[in-house]
Amino acid sequence: MGAVFVIQGILIYIYAFDHNPPHIHVRSGSGKFTITIKDRIVEGRASSRTIRLVNEFIDSHEAEIMEVWEKAQKGEPITKIKR
């Protein structure tokens, strides 16, 4: 699956049948990490700017992200998140 969203070159992924808790995978020029959707726990490395932008993305799209997460866990087709 390709990225479900791209913010200023930061790629955000959600994988099918991934483990709980709900989280997103993030890749950028400054590193890669996962971040939980509810608790915002970061595992991995990236710049503080990248983490801030991803947190802002989650703030404004949390319902959509959770909808995509649920579909992915059921193996249903998922689509890119719209701005």
57 lies in a domain?
A: yes
Determine, yes or no, domain membership for 80: no
Q: Does 79 fall in a domain?
A: no
Residue 16: give the domain boundaries. 5-74
Q: Indicate the number of domains in the chain.
A: 1
**Residue 31 banded pLDDT, cuts 50, 70, 90:** very high
What's the whole-model pTM score? 0.93
17 Ramachandran zone, left/alpha/beta (phi>0; psi -120 to 50): left
pLDDT range class, residue 51, cuts 50, 70, 90? very high
Answer yes or no: is 42 within a domain.
yes
Domain membership of residue 60 (yes or no) is yes
Q: Does residue 14 lie in a domain region?
A: yes
List, edge to edge, every strand of the sheet that includes 10-13: 5-7, 10-13, 23-28, 31-36, 42-44
Whether 82 is covered by a domain: the verdict is: no
Give 79's pLDDT tier (boundaries 50, 70, 90): confident
